[in-house]
């Protein structure tokens, strides 16, 4: 605690020296004024008093205590970490759902709650060398060396019992990131890594602890690299759309094609959608990417539709559906591509469909135009069948997990019956074997998609499949 205790004293000393200097400067300026020297001096007064105000301001900003809880603030935390040694441990803690409580009960009650939280944390971690509140609902505990075993667990446990604020009982939990300095990293890096662990804890479902390891950093670096790569790829046109046939099980005819995004950075390996789509979603890049896919696919599918009556199905991310000009943009893509609305199916996951009334209203507008809507990966989302009646849906795409080992006939039959009752078309995804196809046919599933028939292929290859120059089954998964 000694080195920590010394810091406020150092800051106080620094402040008094600074105050002395400021007073001296002010005195000198005053003398100069009395002598009524030139206007230049008056200007320099203005400058020096501005400087004085600046210094005072800096001093104020350097104040070391959080006025609400009395804990150290971020400035002090950072100052202390400047003297970083191997083994120093930081537990960074964030309150889950504090913002909602604060919004609901008001800031005064929010502050009162923070005071109680601070008290509990101090009780739970009496041996910490420093307790700080570096952010709104963020707390930090620092030990000069290793933290005692179970410290972070104790802190989270202490936060769980209910609180009394503003005559109400409220419940709160916390998430924590733990990092141990290794002597290689600067204090800023240690704080950043603690934050990374904290974000992982929050992302992992809250009320939990994540200890930093280099894997977290690697994942974060990879995420950043991919995000930068995606931006470049959008600019430089590195994307392509491939198409996977959807086949009618009764006669094996291709009735639709699903547009699937492909990214092959020049000079590198192709990056699978399972890797880059989540990054595109997290960064919001999925919105421009999604529009690009829709525009491209509408144009490429025009001939397939005109010649072979094939529909086009395009994946739509939840973010994209929430864009206020969603309807206009879909109409625009259809018009530019020369594709009739009845040829387009928009694929959405259950969760993005259930999200909000405005989005479903947008889909209804497009459905009135003739565009169809499919639920993608059906059976992996909410899976509450009751709401299905109320959703603007025309097609159910049954997730491939239902085919994982053998066709789960009981479940599959129930889903198909439900779909039949609601007059929904059905597509079974991920059909890889003839046996699966036969079982689906026997159950009355209308359509299927999967490597048994074809993987997603470039437009030229799809053209060959449609014209019969290439057999289905020849373009399986590679
Ligand atoms: P999805 O929409 O469920 O697409 C089907 C995925 O299953 C595709 O993976 C496809 O290649 C794969 N697949 C098809 N048949 C089989 C099979 O028989 N067995 C197995 N194991 N897999 C099969 P892909 O192309 O890697 O895409 C993965 C996901 O990325 C897609 O899942 C979709 O959620 C997303 N995605 C792809 N393109 C787009 C896009 O343009 N926009 C958006 N928002 N998401 C996209
Ligand atoms: Ca899909
Ligand atoms: Ca799917």
Residue count of the chain, please give it. Answer: 478
| Tokens found for residue 206 | 């809250």
For 179-196, the pLDDT digits (tens) are 999 888 888 889 999 999
Which residue in this structure is represented by tokens 């204090």?
Answer: 187
Tell me if 427 CB under 6 Å of ligand 1.
no
Q: Which atom of ligand 1 is nearest to the CA of 349?
A: 34
Are 189 and 82 within 8 A, CB to CB? Answer: no
The DSSP output letter for 385 is G
CA distance 369 to 305: 17
Pairing of the two strands 239-248 and 209-211: unpaired
Q: What is the pLDDT along the chain (478 residues), one digit of tens a residue?
A: 444 444 445 444 444 444 444 444 444 444 444 444 546 644 654 566 666 565 555 555 456 888 899 999 988 898 888 888 899 999 999 999 899 899 999 999 999 999 999 999 999 999 999 999 999 999 999 999 999 999 999 999 999 999 999 999 999 999 999 999 988 888 888 999 999 999 999 988 889 999 999 888 888 889 999 999 999 999 999 999 999 999 999 999 999 999 999 999 998 899 999 999 999 999 999 999 999 999 999 999 999 999 999 999 999 999 999 999 999 999 999 999 999 999 999 999 887 887 678 888 999 999 999 999 999 988 876 655 667 777 889 999 998 888 866 556 777 888 888 889 889 999 999 999 999 999 999 999 999 999 999 999 999 999 999 999 998 886 554 4
- Nearest bound ligand to CA 293? 1
Tell me if 273 CB under 6 Å of ligand 1.
yes
Are 112 and 175 within 8 A, CB to CB? Answer: no
Tell me if 274 CB under 6 Å of ligand 1.
yes
Tell me if 466 CB under 6 Å of ligand 1.
no
- Nearest bound ligand to CA 318? 1
Tell me if 297 CB under 6 Å of ligand 1.
no
CATH number for 223-467 (one of 3.20.20.450, 3.20.20.20, 3.30.390.50, 3.30.1130.10): it is 3.20.20.450
CA distance 241 to 255: 18
Tell me if 179 CB under 6 Å of ligand 1.
no
Tell me if 177 CB under 6 Å of ligand 1.
no
Q: Which atom of ligand 1 is nearest to the CA of 377?
A: 3
Q: Nearest residue CA, atom 26 of ligand 1?
A: 273
Domain with CATH 3.30.70.270 in the chain: 74-212
CA of 256 to the centre of ligand 2 (A): 12
Are 323 and 333 within 8 A, CB to CB? Answer: no
Domain with CATH 3.20.20.450 in the chain: 223-467
Q: Domain 74-212: which CATH class? A: alpha beta
Tell me if 92 CB under 6 Å of ligand 1.
no
CA distance 171 to 101: 9
CA of 465 to the centre of ligand 1 (A): 20
Q: Nearest residue CA, atom 25 of ligand 1?
A: 260
- Which residue blocks in 370-432 are alpha helix, DSSP H? 409-421
- Nearest bound ligand to CA 374? 2
CA distance 162 to 155: 14
For 77-105, the pLDDT digits (tens) are 988 888 888 999 999 999 998 998 999 99
Are 121 and 158 within 8 A, CB to CB? Answer: yes
Candidate from 273, 281, 295, 349 with most ligand 1 atoms within 8 A of CB, to mutate = 273
- Nearest bound ligand to CA 316? 1
CA distance 245 to 308: 13
CA distance 460 to 441: 30
Are 339 and 312 within 8 A, CB to CB? Answer: yes
């Amino acid at each position: 605690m000694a080195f920590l205790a010394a810091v406020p004293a150092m800051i106080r000393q620094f402040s008094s020296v600074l105050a002395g200097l400021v007073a001296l400067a002010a005195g000198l300026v005053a003398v100069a004024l009395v002598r009524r020297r030139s206007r230049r001096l008056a200007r320099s007064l203005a400058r020096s008093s501005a400087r004085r105000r600046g210094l005072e301001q800096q001093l104020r900003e350097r104040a070391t205590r959080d006025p609400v809880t009395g804990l150290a603030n971020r400035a002090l935390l950072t100052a202390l970490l400047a003297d970083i040694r191997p083994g120093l441990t930081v537990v960074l803690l964030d309150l889950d759902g504090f913002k909602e409580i604060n919004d609901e009960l008001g800031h005064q009650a929010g502050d009162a709650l923070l005071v109680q939280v601070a008290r509990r944390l101090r009780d739970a971690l009496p041996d910490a060398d420093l307790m700080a509140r570096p952010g709104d609902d963020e707390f930090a505990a620092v030990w000069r060396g290793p933290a005692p075993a179970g410290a972070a667990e104790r802190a989270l446990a202490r936060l769980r019992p209910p609180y009394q604020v503003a005559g109400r009982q409220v419940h709160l939990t916390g998430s924590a990131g733990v990092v141990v300095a290794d002597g290689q990293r600067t204090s800023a890096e240690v704080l950043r890594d603690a934050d990374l662990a904290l974000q992982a804890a929050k992302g992992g479902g809250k009320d939990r602890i994540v200890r930093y390891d280099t894997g977290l950093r690697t994942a974060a670096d990879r995420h950043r690299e991919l995000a930068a790569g995606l931006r470049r790829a959008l600019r430089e046109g590195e994307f392509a759309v491939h198409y996977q046939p959807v086949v009618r099980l009764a006669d094996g005819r291709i009735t639709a094609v699903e547009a699937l995004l492909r990214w092959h950075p020049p000079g590198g390996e192709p990056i699978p959608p399972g890797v880059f789509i989540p990054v595109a979603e997290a960064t919001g890049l999925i919105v421009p990417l999604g529009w690009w896919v829709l525009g491209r696919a509408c144009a490429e599918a025009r001939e397939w539709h005109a010649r072979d009556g094939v529909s086009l199905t395009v994946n739509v991310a939840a973010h994209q559906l929430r864009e206020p000009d969603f309807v206009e943009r879909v109409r625009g893509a259809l018009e530019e591509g020369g594709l009739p609305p009845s040829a387009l199916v928009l694929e959405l996951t259950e969760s993005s469909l259930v999200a909000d009334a405005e989005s479903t209203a947008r889909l209804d507008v497009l459905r009135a135009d003739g565009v169809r809507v499919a639920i993608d990966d059906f059976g992996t989302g909410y899976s509450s069948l009751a709401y299905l009646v109320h959703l603007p849906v025309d097609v159910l795409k049954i997730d491939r997990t239902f085919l994982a080992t053998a066709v789960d006939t009981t479940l599959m039959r129930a889903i198909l019956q439900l779909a039949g009752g609601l007059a929904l078309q059905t597509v079974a995804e991920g059909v890889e074997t003839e046996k699966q196809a036969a079982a689906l046919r026997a159950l009355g599933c209308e359509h299927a998609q999967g490597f048994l028939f074809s993987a997603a292929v470039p437009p030229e290859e799809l053209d060959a499949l449609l014209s019969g120059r290439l057999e289905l089954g020849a373009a399986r998964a590679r």
